[in-house]
Amino acid sequence: MGIQKDRVRFNVGGKIFDTSATTLANAGRNSLFGAMFDENWDLQSGHSTTEHFIDRNPDYFAVLLDLLRTGELYLPSNMSEKQLYREALFYGILDHVRSAKWGPFDGNRLRLARSVTGRAPGDGTAIRAGPDGGCCVAHGSMVHVYDWMLEVHPPINLDYQRVNDAGWIDPESIVISACERFGTGDGGMGLFSASTGERRYKFHVSHENQVKSYTAGALSFSPDYKLFSSCKGRSNEYGIGVWDQVTGKQIDFFYEPPGWSLGEADKLQWLHGNNCLLVATLFPRKDNCYIGLLDFRDKSMPWSWSDVGAPITDEKRVRDAIAMEESSSVCVVNEYEDLGFMDLRRAAGSVRWSSRSRLMKGKMPDEPCYPKLALHEGQLFSSMNDSISVFCGQDWVLTSRLRRTYGGSICDFSIGGDRLFALHSEENVFDIWETPSPPII
């Protein structure tokens, strides 16, 4: 960048600050300071000789200016962290503050940053990380939304309709799926404002040119703005629906084939490289487990697996599944945190189990939760009782374990916005895990 080392003077709330164009350029084009530079990142004429008055708090400006100078964030103990965030938002450098507080996500370097007591009287059922470091927590028919500062927004109330899943379209928009309430026509899915809790529109299911009431279950999203959900209605509306995220219009429906259970799927996962949708219906929702890939282009199922007809024991019962496109495989887990793998390149095959049970330590809780899986940036995560295990490498070796004893078993966890959120079952509390920012050398 052709940045001239010109001095720039600010008068912030009556206090004078002198800095350089180089320091201000660190704030980026989209910041308040970005307008001071031309398209070549040279300081525009007149800005070096003018005193710029800003009617804001000078103490917080000093902290943010040092952040731009050094890349390090130091906030004196007598200053408010939330007020610093508000000031950073005004100057357009909130991302710089976040980057200074915690670094790029790494499961092996995560540290417990904070625990938050929920707002609902009952235990939480699901937690979903937002793209900007916030999250939402479902409790029965309520969804509570937290921004990245963990301040709670107005709740989303579905009027006694049980929430089945939730997902973020962007930092301001949340899709919620819920059970149908017979006799009312309620249920299905809606798009809600994350900041106000208001419903923007509802996603309808049409069958034989008639709008039908339905129960929406597991959710998934694709990069081309498609929304997928498992659906079950009172007629023939069993299967996987597809909607346009932008318009809310239904654009496709994959009807449930005989012998399968798509409408009650526990998990959906869009595979961009395969252009297919992973659908998993698992125990105990059904007595048997069904995992398959759906190709909506020709309404086919190019790969599938089921334990129907196989001798089943608790050690072999699949509790969760996740596809790993880089290795063309599906990873599954049982209730003992044994990992199993299936090859997507084979039309049919068995699960190759890799025992992890001997790694478990401590007493089993009175009310254990079923394990959950997540894959993030080449690392595999598995929840088990009150801990989350991290696996890495081609052989998925256990490399670290996250554990917090308060709150009981982990019933759900989610990764997003460079944070991991873990929701506990026995106490209405969730934990936030962050990667410490790397030291500045």
Contacts for 298 with CB less than 8 Å, ≥ 6 apart: none
What pLDDT was estimated at residue 362? 45
Global pTM reads 0.85
What pLDDT was estimated at residue 4? 47
pLDDT band at 358; cut points 50, 70, 90: very low
pLDDT band at 291; cut points 50, 70, 90: very high
Residue with the bigger pLDDT between 193 and 49: it is 193
Contact 329, 342 (CB under 8 A): yes
Q: What is the mean pLDDT of residues 187-200?
A: 93
Contacts for 270 with CB less than 8 Å, ≥ 6 apart: 220, 221, 222, 226, 228, 277, 278
pLDDT > 70? residue 120: no
pLDDT > 50? residue 400: yes
pLDDT band at 1; cut points 50, 70, 90: very low
Contacts for 283 with CB less than 8 Å, ≥ 6 apart: 289, 317, 318, 319
Burial of 48: CB neighbours in 10 Å, binned 0-12, 13-18, 19+ = middle
The H helix count followed by the E strand count for the chain is 4, 33
pLDDT > 50? residue 2: no
CA atoms within 13 A on the CB side of 210: 9
Cα–Cα separations (whole angstroms), residue 87 to 97, 223, 263? 10, 33, 47
What pLDDT was estimated at residue 55? 95
Contacts for 359 with CB less than 8 Å, ≥ 6 apart: 337, 389, 398
> 325: left (phi > 0), else alpha (psi -120 to 50), else beta?
alpha
pLDDT in tens, 45-85: 655 567 889 999 999 999 999 999 998 899 999 999 889 98
pLDDT in tens, 124-133: 689 999 998 8
**Which residues on neighbouring strands pair with residue 166, listed in sequence order?**
176
Mean pLDDT of the chain: 87
Least confident of 211-215, 257-261, 273-277, 352-356: 352-356
Whether omega before 284 lies within 30 degrees of 0, making that bond cis, reads yes
pLDDT > 80? residue 192: yes
pLDDT > 70? residue 313: no
